[in-house]
Structure 1
Amino acid sequence: MKQIPEAQVRPSALQQAPPTISEEPSLVAIQSKYLLKDTTQTKVYLYVDAFKGKNPISITDFIKTYNVNYVIYSDYGTRERLGYGNVKLDSSNVGKAGDKIVVAYDIKSPNRDYGVLLSEISQVGTLKKVLNDLTIHFKKMTVSQTYGVHTAASPQPLQRHYINADEAFTLKKASEGSDQLHVFYYNHEFEPAGSPMNVAPKSTGSRALEADSTFTINTSETLHFSKEGLYNIFADTTQSEGLGILVVNERFPKVTRPQLLLGPLLYMSTNNEINEIKKAEDYKKALDKYWLTLMNGNAPLAQQSIRSFYSRVEEANQLFTTYKEGWKTDKGMIYIVLGPPDKVQRSKDREVWTYDQRGNAQNVNFTFNRKNNQFVDDHYELVRYAEYQPIWYPVVEAWRNGSIR
């Protein structure tokens, strides 16, 4: 059977390119999520980075310029169709969340546990089209599959897993109705990703993470979580998987506090360098000294490298935050050091990122496998190999000498 060709023609959120300078409309990236109304109906949301010239496209122009169609396949790698249709775009199903266009539409759920939804956005009068694939568990009526997180800034549910401290939000069902939900709060500092060359088996003797506090909330009412940390929400305390919300500082996904700037440097620094900064009384001065030392005292080059590095950190936080900050995840680590992949291929529980040229190698693949997680349903872990060393270290060295802009 032929593969669904989503990876070859769809610019994913990992492959973002700058918007075109002409006044032509352009689609840069699509992200997606779904909420189950029940086991027979699913609500789909497409979050689209679309531009007209250098500016985000208006809702009116998007409706006039694009068509949306979809097909539901039984799995990746098969052409068995479980459903298909086209979406008539109008002001009732096209909105905005920040600069993103959000398209919301309903599909009839097939009588299957699982399927792959392929959404196509095509430009009227041209052959230009962009595809997005979304795996859907049609019978899995957990909180994360039935409730969306809504803020005052957008009537549509958030696509991301985090909210900022004291940001007002509500939890809403895709269907009507409200419930009392149980919240478990964890004030826990999760570890950043380990080296891609570290093939040592993980310790299995660690004890389960214990909640620092628990409380109940009512859905459809305005909520504020002021404490930073991880909140896991359940409809039923006997469930094993919840809706994880990471509450972060008001500047996130940007990283600006001196103490927080240190963390991501783990990926390009020695242990001695990290420890020296940790011992310093003034974090900011120590960080400035770190970058200036790497750049042999060249202040403009140091400033440029700092901007480039922390821009990657911000993007990793936007794209990959799950139960921990995006920069700490395996995907975030690879993205920060190597940048966006040149190609992404997905299957049911796996993503493969391909880099055409990195370090001393061509066609480098990084494989991420989806793992069960009590907080989120999109937790992926990197398959590590010692053979990444000649690829990884030259790129790290390029960061350390200011070659990466």
Structure 2
Amino acid sequence: MNRIGLILFFLLAVGTFSEAQQTSKTKKRKGDAQTTAAASGVDDVTILGIKSKFLSKDTNSVAIFMRVDLSKPNNIPVRWKDFTDKFTLNYVLYPDFASRERLGYGNIPLNEQNVVQLSATKFMIRFDVKRPVNHASAVMLAEISEIGTTKKVLNDLAVRFNAPKLSDRFALFERTGQVVMLQNYVNVNDTLLIKDIKKTVKPLYVMRYKHDFEAASSPMNTTPRNAPRTLGVDTTFIINTSTPLTFKEEGLYYMTEDTTDATGIGLVVSNKRFPKMTRPAELVRPVMYMSQNQEINELLGTKDAKKSLDRYWLSLMNGNTDLAKRTISVFYNRVEEANRLFTTYKEGWKTDKGMIFIVMGPPDRVQRSKDREVWVYSQRANFSEINFTFNRRANQFVEDHYELQRYVEYQPIWYPMVEAWRTGAVRD
């Protein structure tokens, strides 16, 4: 995947919007400019993406946690002042996604009280937002702007001040209890905490599911799947909030305040390598998106997954080892990124977004509203423009579950892309 494409997609996939959407030609110019800047030693800092979450403090305010991912040319580490001296942050509250009525606004100083540097490229901003008069919820539109330029990156977040859900009050934190984990997965034996702003200690009921969820079906498959109405619980136990936790077994974990609750906090616990996939038995499965039924059955039924997978790729590439290696690298890099970006109650590669991302690559732009995302792919060899629409669906485990609107009309778009994979024509 080319770097510019990944940057653009990451901005959009995590709920970030750039006001200046780039065309292919513009993206190329941007890439050339970054190369020139790096060569000349210009100290550029680029915002790759923003992800945010709120936690209720009380009935009148919430705490906002906003992670900002940055980069500099040639992978140079980003210094504290590269971020705090170069950017500003402000926000506006609206009643909902469709309204432009301003309920409130604020400017957040980027200083030691509000900003924590997590790594060489990641920063966490924490600030409080007060409840607007006569409103129990709002949409916060935050804007991070580069000082002295017109560059800005936006992030929208739906905020509930009455905190009806467990996930409105509690969140997953890294082992220190200081950093919110803005993802739906952890690795086996990782240490984490589930806590609220007040560090309340209370019991939560935990259910573990070993269910192996199905991968996404074809974009042309308009026949609804007969999904199980209930999942079989493998084990149940009780944990305490604000107490270090370690999950020793893989699976889907679901935490609630009461066993009758309709919503809770879902968490996928995966092997130590996730989101990367390394086990041959795992690597076999994502190729279903570019395989024929007979090929899939043979791969899934084999006793030696590694040898079968090697034969599969070499056969597609007509024995060209170099081409097979390059295509395998591109394919599984996309699978890993899909896991990183789209894991919900199941691995990211299995989701509808993950499937489209793996086969089609990052979209050229994303249009978002309250319950919908539209991924737009511009000019390709076999089409001028195509849209994939994802609708948000209620889900007890996570809030960011989206389902693709499927159409048989995708056939003339989808099959040539699959064939490009099968012939090694897809590039980074």
Q: CA deviation at 1:97?
A: 3.4
Aligned pairs for 1:102-181 (under 5 A) are 102-110=124-132, 111-152=134-175, 155-181=178-204
Query: Which stretch shows the higher mean deviation, 42-51 or 181-190?
Result: 42-51
Aligned pairs for 1:81-92 (under 5 A) are 81-92=102-113
CA offset digits 1:160-179 (Å, max 9, x no partner):
00000010111110234221
Partners of 2:424 and 2:177 in 1: CA distance = 39
Corresponding position: 1:52 with 2:72: yes
Contact 1:359 1:390 in 2 (8 A): no
Q: CA deviation at 1:47?
A: 1.6
Contact 2:199 2:242 in 1 (8 A): no
CA offset digits 1:4-46 (Å, max 9, x no partner):
x97452789xx9x989442311112222222222332111122
What residue number does 2:62 align with?
A: 42
Structure 2 residue corresponding to 1:9, chosen from 11, 19, 37: 19
Q: CA deviation at 1:381?
A: 0.5
Q: TM-score w.r.t. structure 1 length?
A: 0.93
Contact 2:16 2:50 in 1 (8 A): no
Q: CA deviation at 1:113?
A: 3.7
Q: CA deviation at 1:362?
A: 2.0
Q: CA deviation at 1:233?
A: 0.5
Q: CA deviation at 1:375?
A: 0.5
Corresponding position: 1:25 with 2:25: no
Partners of 1:333 and 1:91 in 2: CA distance = 41
Q: CA deviation at 1:359?
A: 5.6
Contact 1:59 1:94 in 2 (8 A): no
What residue number does 2:116 align with?
A: 95
Q: CA deviation at 1:276?
A: 1.5
What residue number does 1:315 align with?
A: 337
Contact 1:20 1:26 in 2 (8 A): no
Amino acid at match of 2:104: G
Partners of 1:81 and 1:236 in 2: CA distance = 37
Partners of 1:136 and 1:194 in 2: CA distance = 33
Partners of 1:311 and 1:362 in 2: CA distance = 26
Contact 2:68 2:122 in 1 (8 A): yes
CA RMSD in angstroms comes to 2.2
Contact 1:73 1:116 in 2 (8 A): yes
Partners of 2:380 and 2:410 in 1: CA distance = 11
Secondary structure of 1:357's match? coil
Corresponding position: 1:280 with 2:302: yes
Corresponding position: 1:203 with 2:233: no
Query: Which stretch shows the higher mean deviation, 289-298 or 40-49?
Result: 40-49
Please list every run of 5 or more consecutive structure 1 residues that lacks an aligned counterpart in the other structure.
Answer: none
Secondary structure of 2:415's match? helix
Q: CA deviation at 1:357?
A: 2.5
What residue number does 1:244 align with?
A: 266
Secondary structure of 1:361's match? coil
CA gap 1:266/1:10 in 2 versus in 1, 3 angstroms: farther
Please list every run of 5 or more consecutive structure 2 residues that lacks an aligned counterpart in the other structure.
Answer: 1-14
Contact 1:116 1:135 in 2 (8 A): yes
What residue number does 1:395 align with?
A: 417
Partners of 2:213 and 2:114 in 1: CA distance = 38
Corresponding position: 1:334 with 2:356: yes
Contact 1:164 1:248 in 2 (8 A): yes
Q: How many residues align?
A: 397
Amino acid at match of 2:59: T
Contact 1:33 1:134 in 2 (8 A): yes
Secondary structure of 1:300's match? helix
Amino acid at match of 2:355: M
Aligned pairs for 1:72-83 (under 5 A) are 72-83=93-104
Structure 1 residue corresponding to 2:278, chosen from 241, 251, 256: 256
Amino acid at match of 1:296: N
CA gap 1:304/1:221 in 2 versus in 1, 3 angstroms: same
Partners of 1:75 and 1:6 in 2: CA distance = 17
What residue number does 2:390 align with?
A: 368
Q: CA deviation at 1:116?
A: 1.5
Contact 2:216 2:352 in 1 (8 A): yes
CA gap 1:280/1:341 in 2 versus in 1, 3 angstroms: same
CA offset digits 1:124-175 (Å, max 9, x no partner):
2222111111122332332212112112378311000000001011111023
Partners of 1:10 and 1:257 in 2: CA distance = 41
Contact 1:65 1:124 in 2 (8 A): yes
Query: Which stretch shows the higher mean deviation, 114-123 or 153-162?
Result: 153-162
Partners of 2:177 and 2:122 in 1: CA distance = 10
Amino acid at match of 1:39: T
Contact 2:137 2:158 in 1 (8 A): yes
Amino acid at match of 1:172: K
Contact 2:211 2:232 in 1 (8 A): no
Corresponding position: 1:227 with 2:237: no
CA gap 1:132/1:10 in 2 versus in 1, 3 angstroms: farther
Partners of 2:17 and 2:384 in 1: CA distance = 19
